[in-house]
A and B are shown apart, each in its own frame.
Chain A
């Protein structure tokens, strides 16, 4: 999951702009964004609603194209890929975690996690091995046959995390992963992501406008009106559980917390 070539950053975003036409009006969602991400980073993009966070994550994640500028993933410009090239890149190298979980409603937990593996045409035995490991890692071992609508918000997001990680991507992008969760469950999810970053070396870029969540990051990029307005480094990130002010929040922390409904 860590880039093979240590000299090349995992991700380089250079002069990325994104304009939308809304009738006769042109909206500049991104006005020239530059930054790099090294493998193993745990980067938070923060800013108010409408500042361009989701647009930027979409472009980094190859689900949207910049109006100008380049996005280099492991030194390869992915912004010029065609639809199939983008789909293959998303499948092999990028994992997504969405604010509203976006699980496939008719599939159970195991099948949701298995879906990217089937697209990647992995053998059945390998698929089973990876899924077994991940469901244990996110603490959903007892819920593999459950459908998404039988799970709590936190459990659904953990399924989404497992699905994002199952193809062992270079980069996991999480767009406001805790926005639809209560603070206790948010803690659980962030602890899970942080542990994966610390222990497995998975690179995360996540957006948030929650200051408490932002403190998990090793690095924070502030964005406003389509421009990066600041960058901060937090030494190894802050363990939210330790800094929690809400009584009982810590009880929900940890990757291996049991998967009881939250």
Chain B
């Protein structure tokens, strides 16, 4: 009968029950939405940033202090030998090793009838069957990604800026390692559109072989990227690769060491080190969202607490009667808590439905978080992602807030004496 009594009381005082359940529902839904938003940002980070940087990256240590990180003097020599050495480790954790040759270039419109338009961009030379650059390879709108190792892949936005389209030619102007200008007409073989306008307006792709030819940088690489089977093993792989490429040096994560005489110092970093600034920002975002969730929990808790208190205060006499009949104070507390639990469960169920709906709605188009996300190398459109564990956490947290708030009301009632309760006019 006690559960039935709690249920009937909740139904009878339906207005207050609605407020309590509503507060729980809103708190739960907000927590789900915010958590899913955060999950979306994190997933975007893992999906786009890491595949672009690789799980482990090797480059010239001087890049860190260089004013022109795309300077050709910072290219790694003997890239083939370094890659062969890494492959010779025969480490099953390493799925792929690939050289990347990035450089500064000017794309010039190929026409004679008027002054051609041009755009300064960053060219990236990659293998046509690269396992990196997911954000581009999966965002092709026309053509394909360097088909047969030919042409260039450029974004639709950049193409529009220089009046290019699929199949048309563009003049790619670079300066080779000897400082001589070099240009070549390359056909646009693929048009892509990622969710980052900043990225789209600054980056184009060609094959690593063609880039090496134009830059006169045979067997050189801007960086060597490693793709791992398990990203969590990046730190230990970094140490292993450091030991292989820089024997005798401090083979630690993020370590830089001078190479043999005449060869540049290497910098070998895990994705955690490479993206440490993004982690700091993600941590800040997490703290910020955590504070928002905390505030919601406090506001909801206060609403629930006050409503529960008003609700039980209205029934002081009824509770006094129950105690006069023989109900112990603790049992009365349990009865009030049970009513709170029923309302909490109802609210959490509504909150899950509400949160699910909001997340599903926001996931369709994504939330435009603007240039801040792009500056981090993330998509500007954040798509909240649902996580069952987070759902469970939100449900339990909402229930906990409800029960803690109800417990306060129960304690207030328990503190009153039986005679005092019976004497109230409620």
Contact = CB atoms under 8 A, between A and B. Distances in A.
A167 B321 CA distance: 15
Interface in A54-106: 58, 61, 63-64, 83-84, 86-88, 90-92, 96, 98, 102-106
A103 B9 CA distance: 13
Nearest to A119: B326
A139 interface: no
B422 interface: yes
Contacts of B326: 87-88, 90-92, 116, 119-120, 167
B318 interface: yes
A91 B2 contact: no
Interface residues of A, number: 29
Q: Interface SS of chain A: helix, strand, loop or mixed?
A: helix
A111 interface: yes
The prevalent SS among residues of B at the interface is helix
B1 A64 contact: no
Find the residue from A58, A90, A98, A106 having the highest chain B CB count within 10 A.
Answer: A106
Contacts of A92: 326
A234 interface: no
Interface string A197-220: 000000000000000000000000
Interface string B1-22: 1101100110110000000000
A224 to B, nearest CB: 21
Given A105-B12, A111-B1, A118-B1, A90 B325 contact: yes
Interface in B295-326: 317-318, 320-326
Interface string A167-193: 100000000000000000000000000
- Which of A98, A104, A116, A163 neighbours the largest number of chain B CB atoms within 10 Å of its CB? A104
A221 to B, nearest CB: 20
A41 interface: no
Interface string B52-94: 0000000000000000000000000000000000000000000
A146 B322 CA distance: 19
Contacts of A118: 1-2
Nearest to B425: A100
B318 A102 contact: yes
B324 A115 contact: no
Contacts of A195: none
Contacts of A111: 1, 4
A12 interface: no
